[in-house]
Structures are given as structure tokens and as C-alpha cells.
Amino acid sequence: MSTKGKVLIVDDDPDFVKTVKMVLLADGYEVAVASESKKGLEKVREYKPDLILLDIMMESIFEGFSFLGVLRTAPEYEDLKSTPVLMVSSVKADTGSRFAFDDGEDMGDAPEPDDYMDKPLKPKDLIEKVAALIRK
């Protein structure tokens, strides 16, 4: 059976992962999961996903950015650095504001994700965003 694509979820919230995985599987995607960034980077190499759904805050407040930096710049990920990354975070729900990816001052020279969504995610919006990023 063919799938719409392979998605790797890198997130330490088991409830979020379970929900998103069910939504993606129901829509025809193959899904792998890693609960921390180090395991996520290992999984990227073995799984070679079409899209990475990446939490920002895991082991540390900026762990997702560290993951993204390694993926986009480390020589051992050269063949995978263009894999689309959809970052997700509950920062907006928790604080009322969010990370800004369109303002060079906020992120400095750090690599930016291909797109961003605030948690909680609406299933329809997630499916549309995933499909668009994989088609890109």
C-alpha cells in the first residue's frame, strides 16, 4: 500500500504525539516518532522522512532550534538538510505570544523552519500544511 509520504514527529509530549500520529495515519501518511532531539536526529538518518514535525521545547527551551541547526548545517546531514520542517509549539497558548520567524532580529542567523503552527493543532489545518510542505 502506498502512502502520501513519511512524517517524523519529534516531540516529548506523548498525548500530542498520539493524537497527531492518529490524524496523519488516518489521512494516509506513514509516521515515525522520536521523543527527544538526539533520537530524532538518529531517526532522520534511518527513516529519511518527507517531512519533520518538530516541537521547539523538549529537553531544553530551545531544543527544537538546536535540532534544526544540526539538520541544516552538519555535514553528516547534507543529503537530508532540505527535508521540510514544520515546527510546533505551545508557547503562544502558554504565554500569549509566539516565536517570530519572519523577523531576522529575533532568530539571528539560526536556520528557520519551513513553516510553523501553534499548539493545539486543528487536524484539518495540520493535514493541509503537511500536504503543502511535502508537495513543495
User: Domain holding 128: CATH number?
Assistant: 3.40.50.2300
* 52-69 per-position pLDDT tens digit: 999 998 888 888 999 999
pLDDT band, residue 76 (cuts 50/70/90): very high
State the average pLDDT over residues 34-63: 93
User: Using CA atoms, how far apart are residues 73 and 111, in angstroms rounded to an integer?
Assistant: 8
Q: Which helix (H) or strand (E) holds 53?
A: strand 51-55
Q: Is residue 1 part of a domain?
A: no
Question: Is the pLDDT at 70 greater than 60, yes or no?
Answer: yes
User: Using CA atoms, how far apart are residues 61 and 54, in angstroms rounded to an integer?
Assistant: 13
What's the pTM value of the predicted model, to 2 decimals?
0.87
Instruction: Work out how many domains the chain is built from and give that number.
Output: 1
pLDDT band, residue 110 (cuts 50/70/90): low
| Residue 49 domain boundaries | 6-135
